[in-house]
Chain A
Amino acid sequence: MAEKGHAHPNYMAIFWYLAVLTVVEIAVIYLPLAKLTIGVLLCALALTKAALVAMYFMHLRFEAKTLGWIAVTPLAIATLLVFVLLPDGFAVLKKTDSAAKPAVAAPAKH
């Protein structure tokens, strides 16, 4: 029987990329870098791993381009949502901060 579908990518190579990237991720959190730098590095590494899985294991690289665009839509929605939620979170943080401070400044009134 002839092989079905497209040519298979080198799955073991992808496996090693994923394994090495996971080790790099764990190493990154112990590096003496700024928290923001570590955060950006981790996001980049995670997205690279996710892209490898989607493109080669899920064969997105060999599918119609439109399917790829559909597949990345949730990522765009989730990223936008973070920015939609943050202002509210910061507003609550500010409120609890300013509410907490006078209580610390004047505890003897009771």
Chain B
Amino acid sequence: MTAATVHSAIEPAEAPLTPESWGKLGMWIFLVGDAVGFGVLLAGYGAMRSTSGDWPNPYAVLGINLTALMTFLLICSSVTMVKGLEWLGKGDRTRAVQYLFFTALGGAIFVSLQAYEWSHLIHRGLHINQNPWGATLFGTSFFLVTGFHGLHVTGGVIYLLSIIRYVANRPDPAASYNAVEIVGLYWHFVDLVWIMVFTFMYLL
């Protein structure tokens, strides 16, 4: 008798939240914890901003044209991610790898544009401890939150590239389906967080 059958004999009514794999549940638990991290950053941002007397108008000083393009790019990369998973489910490993690669590329371009935006803003005087437009915490929170998100995108690109290798090394598409679904969860989460960051830190 294996450990699994002993377990189901003890708890017959218990069904796992994610029957496909434990890894998926693991990723969900990680993401919920990570979401608390971003939630705390954004809640702190909201509280600091609404009780500040001289908070600058973000979209006027930051400029949103480039950021809107970055938002669009991340949404596109989410679509290529789901398409990649869909192709893998259909058994087309080559197409799946192609779409995963487009997703990683979208992420890499996103981070590059963010680096460009940062250097541009730093050049205009936005620093972590001072800025020419008002409340000091404006710069602090801007770099902290967008930086934390940017690190997530960077990590995501590395994660995606390693999963591409994982898929390429397994001739049976079904063998890598779970791994791709799990990296997808992470990637969509990063997209979801950017939707929040874009709204609260640039538009509001």
Contacts and interface: CB of A to CB of B under 8 A. Distances in A.
B200 A46 contact: yes
A89 B18 contact: no
A93 B47 CA distance: 11
B91 A45 contact: no
Given A12-B79, A26-B203, A93-B51, A74 B32 contact: yes
Most buried by A among B76, B78, B90: B78
Contacts of B50: 86, 89
A45 B17 CA distance: 29
B200 A79 contact: no
A105 interface: no
Contacts of B109: none
Given A8-B86, A29-B59, A46-B200, A81 B75 contact: no
Interface residues of B, number: 56
Interface of A is mostly: helix
Interface residues on A, range: 35 or more
Interface string A76-88: 0111011001101
B86 A74 contact: no
B163 interface: no
Given A57-B82, A63-B18, A70-B32, 13 more contacts: A11-B82, A12-B79, A14-B79, A15-B78, A26-B64, A38-B204, A46-B198, A57-B78, A57-B184, A64-B18, A81-B39, A82-B47, A86-B47
